[in-house]
A and B are shown apart, each in its own frame.
Chain A
Amino acid sequence: MTDATLQAGHVQWQEAVIERIERQTEGVKSFLLRPQTWRSFRAGQHLDLRLTTPDGYQTQRSYSVASAPGFKGLYELVVERLDDGEVSPFFHDVAEVGDAIKIRGPIGGHFAWGPEDGGPLLLIGGGSGVAPLMSIVRHRAAVGRDVTVVLLHAARTWDDVIFREELIARDATEANFTLLLSLSRDTARRPQDFGRRIDASLLNMTLARLGTAPRLTFACGSNAFVEAVTGHLLDIGLDPRTIRTERFGG
């Protein structure tokens, strides 16, 4: 199964203008980009960005789209600042509203979900790895309310939970959507959350919330995070063919 937009052939570079910048947490900001030509996509896909210095040096990075396909005209990206990085500190310290950035996409055909893929879904995100999962959560709310979703969101502390207010509000108001937080260096603020790292027993409790085995699991974050989480998922008997991963590097 491939994406119609990918079958259309070459994905062109184009200019997008930063329309809004929002602080998410310490070290994480959202950037709302307005491309010349917005095109729809599958929740979970990413954009490629290309930056150029005055002397012609170019570099590219990928960022997942956190907005849903129904949010027309804009793409929301969530950029975590890596202090020794080349591109993410540029976004945090230099980029301003009105700046133009070269982008292409959205692209990527595997770490993606649409209502035709069904559910139930288990989404597991570490830090900024929640970005593509947020697109799935938002898209589900718009087009797949009968699909049961549990989002297990790992962060260091309560204040590091990206999209915290929106996710808690969705948890409270949307049927079939559950948010569970795993805070590695904080205590749980809500009774259902965990004040510890993800391990096999925590995942078993998360699966119990889902009721049945997930049809698909999406795990996203740093490689170390994804490797640890998927290892536990295999230990507790999940079918590896139902698990999709996106690894941000590191």
Chain B
Amino acid sequence: MATRGFTRKTSPADYADRIPPGQSRTEGFPVLSAGPTPRVSLGDWSFTLKIGPRPMMRWTWEEFTALPQTKMTRDIHCVTKWSKLNTPWRGVLIDDILAEAGLALPPDYTLAHSFDGYSTNVPTADLIGGKAMVATHYEGKPLTPEHGGPARLLVPHLYFWKSAKWINALQFLERDEAGFWELRGYHIYGDPWREQRYRGD
């Protein structure tokens, strides 16, 4: 049923088929974080691959940025209701990270970890096959701290809280384990097209 007197302000966009239900298109780049923006210097930065509790491989910033670089332009969708079209990223595909580590068949589930203690879970299948990267650049420039720099996970087909900012590890697990927001009532998978915002959606 219509809300009395409510009219849309934006013209029925040309891009309507790219905006998931309940979302609005923004030209800006809003920020969602549970806490302050952490200060991570490139000298202190490192990225670790783990299987369960066991570290497999660790990269310094220099080593990591020497891995093959990929560009990816995607639409992104934040659970706080904004969507942003055609965002251009550069970084290292998860596929290339796995190849470098010689890990052909990682376990089915992944927890991404961040410098600020944040974590989020993503099925491994959603990270491979060119679907996701660890991004270090946005619009051709180093990623700024408030948007996750030095490096963030980019899983653009899921709500953006899955694209963990300030990432420092990917941990592969045999069983799915809820991350920070997933433990606090948000959806375990987070598909914007099925509007999986909160647990039970």
Contact = CB atoms under 8 A, between A and B. Distances in A.
B35 A244 contact: yes
Interface stretch (B4-12, B84-92, B95-103): B4-12
Q: How large is the interface on B (under 10, 10 to 19, 20 to 34, 35 or more residues)?
A: 35 or more
Given A9-B200, A53-B2, A94-B5, A245 B184 contact: no
Interface string B19-51: 001111000101111111111000000000000
A94 B6 contact: yes
Interface string A219-250: 00001000100110110000011011101011
Q: Chain B interface secondary structure, helix, strand, loop or mixed?
A: loop
Contacts of B197: 48
Interface string A50-78: 11111001111110000000000000000
A109 B180 CA distance: 10
Interface string B165-201: 0000000000000001101111000000000011111
Contacts of B3: 51-53, 90, 99-102
Contacts of B9: 85-86
A241 B35 contact: yes
A115 interface: no
Contacts of B4: 94, 99-100
B117 interface: yes
Interface of B: 1-10, 12, 21-24, 28, 30-39, 80-82, 116-117, 146, 180-181, 183-186, 197-201
